[in-house]
Amino acid sequence: MTELVPALPVAVDLEAFTSLGFWTGVGILAGIYTIFALGLQVNVGFTGIFNFGQAGFMAIGAYSMAILVTDADLSFWLALPIAILITMLFALLIGLPALRLRTDYLAIATIAAAEALRLFALNARDLTGGAQGLFGFDDSWDGVSDSILNGLESLGWSNPETLFPLFLVVWGVAILLMFALTFLQKSPWGRVLRAVREDEDAARALGKNAFAYKLQSLAIAAALGAIAGFFLALNLRFIIPDEFLPIFTFLGYAVLILGGLASYFGVAAGAIVFWTLFEGLRFLELPFDEVQIRALQFIVLGLVLILLMAFRPQGMFGNRQEMVLGD
Amino acid sequence: MTDAPSQPVAADERRPARESNGRPIFAAEGVVKRFGGIRAVDGATMSVREGSITALIGPNGAGKTTFFNVITGFYRPDGGRATFQSKPVLWRPPYAIARLGMVRTFQITKALSRMTVLDNMMLAAPDQPGERLANVVFRPASSRRREREVREQAIELLEIFNLTPLADDYAGTLSGGQRKLLELSRALMARPQLLLLDEPMAGINPTLGRRLLDHMQRLRADEGVTFLFIEHDMEVVMNHADRVVVMAEGRVIADGEPHEVRKDQAVIDAYLGGTA
């Protein structure tokens, strides 16, 4: 065994591995996934509803924002809250029929709704640009980004990373949202959410309108999805339907499981570990080509999840006792 | 979105003690619930006197639990009427019925497992403005004030039911008997005028069962709570209930004082497996 190790040409390309530009990119992705999966945490971890359509909410948020800016000539800053409201309204529209379904049926209904939306975006070319996508919605953001870059330079960082302002803003928003959600969760409102997660009928028998709370939970998740969508659009500078494939939601669940259920800060930890592992693999100098490395990323991710389930099923920040007591 | 306007309830509000005064607090008339071709509840008519401890008994499959589910809004009725304090209750959603003051427990206890015992209790309290999202953000003071009251009440009740040492444990770690006590005390946190208990004595040891019955007597005397409870075993009922309603095959076949019901031929037939 020991003889095999030096024979394997495994080494870490240290220079690229320590590149700030690379880690800025990974950090932005981790931040976007954090915000995205915070929504899943509200639903799955605290309300017990299995929302598999989160990528769809992200799509509505991003498209609404871009369409309002490019077609309706609305200010970018005004388009953001309006897009969040549109996304929340859409969540209510989907939730009114779908939240009456039980867990697995709700999962099917939400994933179908998200896919229907993506296919609509692909085909409604006049509105969404179809597969060509939308761009030119981020001029206002560029102005902000430039002034942050100038600020960084005046602080003594010559030639700062161009994406660093986005990194700062994504994580600033993510941290703010984590604190806000943790605050809400500790309120009597959050207690009713957990009661609905534990036993909807018990909550109703004690005078709580469980359905209304599930609707609110879904609407909040949708708003978080929309915010993640804004940052995704700013990161890529264009919006195409392929950004909103169901895999985005599934990876969001991987982040959730890694971090642990019923913990908002666990979501951030999960997203950071996920993206570090996922992208960091590229810097192992392995005797594989690009396509094989891409496959390897998923193999390693799968292995990590299997090992986690075996040795720490509650995730990094989950509560072991809560997990054992849950059915 | 979730709360009907309601008056705040003073923490130390105590209703005057009173015995059964004969006025019905709850009345059902011709309640029907069908499942496919089966009429699980087949025109049940009964009433519960205010301040009474009324038992609802009957052989297996008599429709007792189904009747409970219909009058508490968990099943949609196929016919009939029911009123609580002269307000119609059928067709209202369960949470609205609970808020009227008609609170139920379940045959299989529903402890909220991954919440502490204290959280289970505090959840049940009515009139918490902090249960509305907008109030959490814009009226945090009133939410905190109510939270302090509710915590005091919860601790008081836990003391009465000997659950204080378990207050910070997850409800899922409790034994079956402790869960029954938690469910009863949690239902009391909701400040019911009528408490509907589905087999409160099932699955717990006789000592605890007696304690539960003592609690019911005291709550009726101290707080004026009216009880309607389902019980399977007729003998348990005879010594503790002051009214007994007997169901068989979806209908109410007798309604009266225990000693009257005991001698009722229809009841004897139903329990001995005759054609009721």
Tell me which residue in B94, B114, B126 faces A325 most closely, judged by beta carbons: B114
**A45 CA: distance to closest CA in chain B (Å):** 11
The residue of chain A nearest to residue B110, with distances taken between CA atoms, is A202
Q: Is residue A110 part of a domain?
A: yes
Q: Cα separation of A94 and A312, whole Å?
A: 35
Amino acid in the structure at residue A87: T
Written as six digits, the tokens of A167 are 């990194």
Answer whether B138 touches A (CB < 8 Å): no
The verdict on a CB contact (< 8 Å) between B114 and A322 is yes
Q: Which of A112-116, A273-277, A322-326, B88-92 has the lowest mean pLDDT?
A: A322-326
Helix (H) or strand (E) segment spanning residue A67: helix A54-70
- Structure tokens of B186? 């949690």
pLDDT at A11: 65
Count other Cβ atoms within 10 Å, centred on residue A310: 8
**Fold of the B24-111+190-271 domain:** Rossmann fold (3.40.50)
Per CB-CB distance under 8 Å, the chain B contacts of A196 are none
How many structural domains does chain A have?
1
CB burial readout B74-100, b (16+ within 10 A) else e = bbebeebebbbbeeebbebebbbbbbb
Report, as an integer, the average pLDDT of B130-144.
94
B21 shares contact with chain A (CB less than 8 Å): no
Q: Collect all residues of chain B within an 8 Å Cβ-Cβ radius of residue A208.
A: 2, 95, 123, 131
In angstroms, what separates the C-alpha of A284 from chain B's closest C-alpha? 42
pLDDT tier, B275 (very low <50, low <70, confident <90, very high otherwise): very low
CB-closest option in A195, A212, A327 to B112? A195
Residue B18 has pLDDT above 50, yes or no: no
B123–A contact, CB cutoff 8 A: yes
Nearest CA in chain A to B130: A188
The rounded distance, in Å, linking the Cα atoms of B37 and B173 is 41
Say which amino acid occupies B115.
Answer: M
Q: Give the whole-angstrom CA distance, residue B50 versus residue A38.
A: 49
Q: Does B169 touch chain A (CB under 8 A)?
A: no
Of B95, B106, B186, the CB nearest to A208: B95
pLDDT > 90 fraction of chain A, expressed in percent and rounded:
74
Q: For B198-210, what is each residue's pLDDT tens digit?
A: 998 887 888 888 8
When pLDDT is cut at 50, 70 and 90, the band that residue A157 belongs to is confident
Tell me if B123 and A189 make a contact (CB, 8 A cut-off).
no
> For residue A213, which residues of chain B lie inside 8 Å, CB to CB?
2
Higher per-residue confidence, A321 vs B87: B87
List, for residues A24-82, the tens digit of each pLDDT value.
Answer: 999 999 999 999 999 999 999 999 999 999 999 999 999 999 999 999 999 999 999 99
Q: Please provide the distance, in angstroms rounded to a whole number, between the alpha carbons at the two ends of chain A.
A: 43
pLDDT category, A327, cuts 50, 70, 90? low
Asked if the model's pLDDT at residue A182 lies above 70, the reply is yes
CB A35 within 8 A of CB A177: yes
Domain ranges of chain B: 24-111+190-271, 118-173
The torsion angles phi and psi of A259, rounded to 5 degrees, stand at -75, -35
Of B1, B98, B126, the CB nearest to A205: B98
Q: Facing residues of B230 across strands?
A: B56, B198
Flag whether A47 is in a domain: yes
**Mean pLDDT across the stretch A119-147?**
93
- pLDDT top residue among A35 and A3: A35
- Which residue in the set A189, A198, A212 is minimally distant from B130, CB to CB? A189
Q: Does B116 touch chain A (CB under 8 A)?
A: no
Residue type, B251: R
CB A63 within 8 A of CB A118: no
The pLDDT score that the predictor gives to residue B272 is 66
Least confident of A244-253, A309-318, B109-118: A309-318
CA distances (Å), B81 to each of A309, B66, B84, B117, B229, in order?
52, 15, 10, 37, 20
Are B190 and A206 an interchain contact pair (Cβ–Cβ within 8 Å)? yes
- Following DSSP, what letter does each residue of B81-139 receive, concatenated? EEEETTEE-TTS-HHHHHHHTEEE--SS----TTSBHHHHHHHH-S--GGGSHHHHHH-
What residues in A contact B114, CB-CB < 8 Å? 194, 197-198, 262, 322, 325-326
Query: What DSSP element (H or E) covers B120?
Result: helix B117-124
In this prediction, residues B186-197 reach a mean pLDDT of 95
Q: What gap in Å lies between CA B86 and CA A67, rounded to an integer?
A: 55
Task: Give the model confidence (pLDDT) of B107-121 as tens digits.
Answer: 888 999 999 999 999
CA A55 – CA A315 distance, rounded (Å)? 23
Q: Residue B111 has which token pair?
A: 């402890």
On chain A, the residues whose CB falls within 8 A of the CB of B116 are none
Q: Does B119 touch chain A (CB under 8 A)?
A: yes
Least confident of A6-15, A219-228, A307-316, B139-148: A6-15
Count of C-beta atoms within a 10 Å radius of residue B107:
16
Predicted pLDDT of residue B6: 46
On average, the pLDDT of chain A sits at 91
Q: Is the pLDDT of residue B21 over 70?
A: no
Which among A187, A321, A327 has the least Cβ separation from residue B136? A187
Q: In which domain, by residue range, is A222 found?
A: 19-244
Q: Residues of B numbered 226-245 whose beta carbons fall under 8 angstroms of chain A's beta carbons: which are they?
A: none
Chain-chain contact of B113 with A204 (C-beta, under 8 angstroms): no
Compute the mean pLDDT over every residue in chain B, rounded to the nearest whole number: 87
User: Encoding tokens for residue A137?
Assistant: 């919605």
Is B43:B32 a contact under the CB 8 Å cutoff? Answer: yes
Taking only the tens place, the pLDDT of each residue in B55-85 is 999 888 899 999 999 999 999 999 999 999 9
| In contact, A34 and A306? CB cutoff 8 Å | no
Domain membership flag for residue A255? no
Dihedral (CA of B5, B132, A109, A112) sign = positive
For residue range A85-103, what is the model confidence (pLDDT) as tens digits?
Answer: 999 999 999 999 999 988 7
Burial of A168 (0-12, 13-18, 19+ CB in 10 A): middle
Cα of B272 to nearest chain A Cα, Å: 35
